Structure 1
Amino acid sequence: MAALVHELGSESFHQYLEGVLDHADQRMRLAVAALPDGTYFGEDHSDNDCFVETDIAVRVTLTVSGDEMVVDFTGTDPQIDGFKNSSLANTYSSVYLGISSFFDTSIPRNEGTYRGITIIAPEGSIINALPPAPMTMNTVYVAHEIVIAVWQALAQAEPGRACAAWSKTMHGHVAGRRDDGTTWVMYHWHAMGTPGATAERDGFAQMGHLISLGGLDIPNLEFHEQSFDVRYIEHEQRMDNAGPGLRRGGTGVRYVADVLQPATWSYRAEGLGSVSGHGVQDGGDGGVGLEWIHPVGQEEFVPPKYGVQKLGPARITAETPGGGGWGNPFDRDPKVVLRDVRDHVVSVEAAATDYGVVITDNGRSVDLAATEALRGQA
């Protein structure tokens, strides 16, 4: 870099840098200008404040005027006692993530990209909390809700680019001490959330947090078994959990693991018990997350969404929520529905009720006449 500055001279070097930012600005402005002028609305919710059940709404009004956009969070609920309040910097980053992932991914992402975007974030709300509000989890939740709300608003402006909601995660982590005195910490990454569908493809069966857009890899089971005192019993796709659609949402997984020694368990089951993978463009919602902890010799119990607990050896069973579907499920190709039935991610019964596809008794083919008649009743 020093050699480049020396070759070009400081003034020319900074002109080139400005050119990079200007180029990104122009690309994003062209994308925004292609949207119809208007005002669009998006909203997503959390069902807890980390301690008690409650409804917390993130509301956004998105106004497009020419090549500029205003993202206004007026009406979003106040900051909370729990640790999911967002800093202003996190809110800006989450808005930029929602916008950049919606448009052409070849648009450069730098400071110039967002010159034409104005963000209004009321102070004291959950997306611009004031001291002493705790913010430990804000880069995951409430960032997730911000992205989904922005996606919903943008989907009204350009439905073809809409992405159904990704579901929330079920993972926590466990920590313990080995016989030699060293400590270990293991995240249950295999209980991550599930992507929603788009116009082009079904949602992936499982992926990392929405805020990483898949950039957080899920480690293989064998590596974890070699590194920690854990044994994996199941890790498979769930049946009848994906949001139905022309493109169905991700299936989510059933995850069962035995932690073989005493440990401290930290629960982070944001996706537990409520729908988070909402469908778009007439697509259906994904299923809810379920979770049980079964300490050896004790009764099985449903953990809290957040909390810390010391346990002896115990089994975790987590069934992660499904991603949202995209488009009318009755428009899905019956052959693709049959494939899902054969793959045990859609049951014969759900093929009929959710997709209007009648599978023959042997489960190997589609009854086309019965399917046409069933879909004709919709």
Structure 2
Amino acid sequence: MRDALTAEVLRNALVVAAEEASIVVVRSAYSTFIVEGSDASAAILSADGRLIAQSMATTLMNSMALKIALPEVLADIPDMRPGEVYVTNDAYRGGVHTNDLLVYRPVFIDDAPAYFTATMIHVSDLGGLSAGGMAPLATDIFLEGLQLPPVRLDATVEAILRANSRTPDKVMGDVRALVAGTAVAAQRLTDLIEEYGAAGLAAGIDDYLAYTEARTRAALAELPPGTYTATYEIDDDGINLEKSHTIRVAVTLGQETLVDFTGTDPQVPAAINASASQSMAAAVFAVRCFIDPTIAMNEGCLSPITVHLPEGSLLNARSPYPCGGRFVPIYAAMEAIFQAMSDAIPSRAIAPSGILQPFSIAAVGAPYWIHLSYDFGGVGARQGLDGPDATGVHFGIGRNSIPQVEPIETRCPLVVESIEVIPDSGGPGRFRGGLGTRTVYRFQADCHVTTRGDRLRQPPPGRDGGLPGRPGGFFRRHRDGTVERLPSKVNNALFQAGEAFIVETTGGAGLGIPSDRPRPEVEADLRAGKITTPTPYT
């Protein structure tokens, strides 16, 4: 490396620039989900498509989308000019789904774009079957909302966005926040170019990306070489409730690691498909969980990992198959890799987990209000450790992105009656799975509820003798107190004022034989209320 110190200084400066951009988006946005949940992402990329830096709050799902979509933006808009901003949400060309807007701003050197600053958030609404962009029963992408190919973000595009949203003021406030984030990051990048010179900045970036790649290759070389296979099943697609769908993976470990999803079930006309960028993120995240966590997330980390996603499969859908339910297949992909890697490295094994359960609550008609949220299941037990409660193994968003109760109640006609962990929901084992949660929303006005869940019919299976976690679910509590279970994927279920919506998340699975758990640990769980009976451990 030519100058390790300068390279590290530049790396941190660029990460801070991306982080500042994401903070600007959160503080400038209008949607509750973004403002209260801090759900915003930012990245800096080179014009040749390399991921240079991402904000600390950025999820790999989002930065991978920003990376993969950039060449598509460049292909469609070859005549870029300083000051312009571009937007897309095309799931088949690097995007995620229709409600996730990707915004790019070029940074010029010598009359040509050299770098791009990019931001991304899930805006409140862009049409489709249900408010908030959920549409769990969509049979094609046209039912999921407005699609945008890479275009210049100008007054005409803004008018189109407004015309296709139930909450146009919030959406345009969110869009302006995205644009502001790219502007701040672009100014920081311009300052670095002035300080270090174009050649100096480029050399520093090359150096730290090469350093990250070397560290990644060294970490991968420490893993047991060979090919390890696993599968994971999806409950159903929401349309045919009797048919499950399977993700299959073969992980070949080495300095050049291959993650091959050949054999994964084909795409279906239902909202359980994913775009390639999201599946790529799942694969890279899962592998990274088994190597040194201090390795930076940038292009250098991506280079040694090859991911094969069969076109037309659940993990690489093509038009017009819907992609809004991408969490379902990519979490199954992540879990399959975890189990394959656990076979390769038993000392770091992890049992399957409960996953996030997204939902939206929205006004029946104008004026529209929307609460878009989710909650997490318990993490599967790990070798040597119980699974954390209500956290989820998540590469998309973190628990801090769940909005707090007070802002929700202020902005929406509902009351959050209770939030609690569910005793006995973690799978028993030598190491116990993490607990799921129960949240109760009581409505003060009629509203529509939309859900998109999985691992609610087939719970996360135990590993090495451990038992499954308790499956969660979505429920309606009628005004007379009776409780009705809802399908895991339901669109615009009408709730009346006074009724309650209950979200129960799935517990993580146990690892190891339950009777091997030491008696003092069982007694501690009883005292803490994590279990109510020692029976599974006797």
TM-score exceeds 0.5: yes
Amino acid paired to 1:328:
I
Task: State yes or no: 1:342 paired with 2:527.
Answer: yes
Sort the Cα spacing of 1:213 and 1:338 in 2 relative to 1 into closer, same or farther, 3 A: farther
List per-residue Cα deviations over 1:276-334 (Å, max 9, x = no partner).
x3333433221111332134369743212222222312212333211122333333232
Q: Is the 8 A contact 1:144 1:211 kept in 2?
A: no
User: Structure 1: how far apart are the matches of 2:517 and 2:487?
Assistant: 37
Q: Is the 8 A contact 1:196 1:249 kept in 2?
A: yes
Q: Is the 8 A contact 1:268 1:305 kept in 2?
A: yes
Sort the Cα spacing of 1:218 and 1:239 in 2 relative to 1 into closer, same or farther, 3 A: same
2:415 matched residue in structure 1: 231
**Aligned pairs (5 A) from 1:1-378:** 1-53=189-241, 54-65=243-254, 67-138=255-326, 140-176=327-363, 182-187=367-372, 189=374, 191-207=375-391, 210-212=394-396, 214-275=398-459, 277-296=460-479, 300-306=483-489, 307-313=491-497, 314-348=499-533, 351-352=534-535, 354-356=536-538
User: Structure 2: how far apart are the matches of 1:297 and 1:347?
Assistant: 28
Q: Is the 8 A contact 2:354 2:507 kept in 1?
A: yes
Secondary structure, aligned partner of 1:292: strand
Amino acid paired to 1:57:
T
Sort the Cα spacing of 1:247 and 1:222 in 2 relative to 1 into closer, same or farther, 3 A: farther
Sort the Cα spacing of 1:2 and 1:290 in 2 relative to 1 into closer, same or farther, 3 A: closer
User: Structure 2: how far apart are the matches of 1:292 and 1:124?
Assistant: 34
User: Structure 1: how far apart are the matches of 2:392 and 2:251?
Assistant: 27
Q: Is the 8 A contact 1:208 1:218 kept in 2?
A: no
Sort the Cα spacing of 1:217 and 1:282 in 2 relative to 1 into closer, same or farther, 3 A: farther
List per-residue Cα deviations over 1:175-209 (Å, max 9, x = no partner).
1279xx643212453x4322222235322221267
User: Structure 2: how far apart are the matches of 1:230 and 1:8?
Assistant: 54
Q: CA deviation at 1:255?
A: 2.6
Amino acid paired to 1:288:
P
Amino acid paired to 1:157:
A
Unaligned runs of 5+ in 2: 1-188
List per-residue Cα deviations over 1:195-249 (Å, max 9, x = no partner).
2222353222212672336355333434433333222333222122101223211
User: Structure 2: how far apart are the matches of 1:52 and 1:260?
Assistant: 33
Q: Is the 8 A contact 2:457 2:471 kept in 1?
A: yes
Secondary structure, aligned partner of 1:175: strand
Sort the Cα spacing of 1:216 and 1:134 in 2 relative to 1 into closer, same or farther, 3 A: farther
List per-residue Cα deviations over 1:97-150 (Å, max 9, x = no partner).
111223221011111112121111111111112221111121x22221111111
Q: Is the 8 A contact 1:170 1:271 kept in 2?
A: no
Q: Which moved more, 1:26-35 or 1:217-226?
A: 217-226
2:93 matched residue in structure 1: none
Q: Which moved more, 1:162-171 or 1:116-125?
A: 162-171
User: Structure 2: how far apart are the matches of 1:164 and 1:30?
Assistant: 26
Q: Which moved more, 1:164-173 or 1:50-59?
A: 164-173
Sort the Cα spacing of 1:211 and 1:2 in 2 relative to 1 into closer, same or farther, 3 A: closer
Sort the Cα spacing of 1:254 and 1:13 in 2 relative to 1 into closer, same or farther, 3 A: closer
Sort the Cα spacing of 1:271 and 1:172 in 2 relative to 1 into closer, same or farther, 3 A: farther
Q: Is the 8 A contact 1:242 1:323 kept in 2?
A: yes
Percent same amino acid among aligned pairs?
28
Sort the Cα spacing of 1:241 and 1:144 in 2 relative to 1 into closer, same or farther, 3 A: same
Amino acid paired to 2:380:
G
Q: Is the 8 A contact 2:354 2:392 kept in 1?
A: no
Question: Pairwise CA RMSD of aligned residues?
Answer: 2.4
Sort the Cα spacing of 1:5 and 1:217 in 2 relative to 1 into closer, same or farther, 3 A: closer
Structure richer in helix, relative to its length: 2
Amino acid paired to 1:74:
T
List per-residue Cα deviations over 1:61-83 (Å, max 9, x = no partner).
01124x12111111100001112
List per-residue Cα deviations over 1:247-282 (Å, max 9, x = no partner).
21111123333112101111223243321x333343
Q: Is the 8 A contact 1:170 1:192 kept in 2?
A: yes
Sort the Cα spacing of 1:337 and 1:213 in 2 relative to 1 into closer, same or farther, 3 A: farther
Q: Is the 8 A contact 1:169 1:271 kept in 2?
A: no
Q: Is the 8 A contact 2:377 2:435 kept in 1?
A: no
Sort the Cα spacing of 1:18 and 1:222 in 2 relative to 1 into closer, same or farther, 3 A: same
